Amino acid sequence: MAGKTRRKKGKIKKDEKEHKTFKIILAGLLIIALISLIEGFGHTFTHMIVHLQQDFQEWVIHLYILGWILVIYGFYKLRKSF
């Protein structure tokens, strides 16, 4: 009997987590819809894409350095294993 109770509690917790996740997704969609209605979908979306491109350009050098660090670390670990 106790085993069945535990499963029910686990299922309830899982359902509550899914419900909270659904609320988060719904809130995000609501915010997107509100901004799109206020600002207009085309202008806001274009501005977001431009902003993402600028962020990517700022981070390119950091990603490049991270790539070289991973390659050097990989060769070091490979050499250490022999």
Q: So where are the chain's domains?
A: 1-39, 45-82
Band of residue 56 on the pLDDT scale cut at 50, 70, 90: confident
pLDDT in tens, 62-78: 989 999 999 999 999 88
Give me the pLDDT at residue 47, please. 85
**42 touches 33 (CB < 8 A):** no
Give me the pLDDT at residue 14, please. 66
**44 touches 35 (CB < 8 A):** yes
Tokens (6 digits) for 44:
């806001």
- Could you tell me the maximum CA-CA distance found in the chain, to the nearest angstrom? 63
Tell me the pTM.
Answer: 0.43
Q: Look at residues 56, 36, 54, 33 and name the one whose alpha carbon lies nearest to residue 45.
A: 36
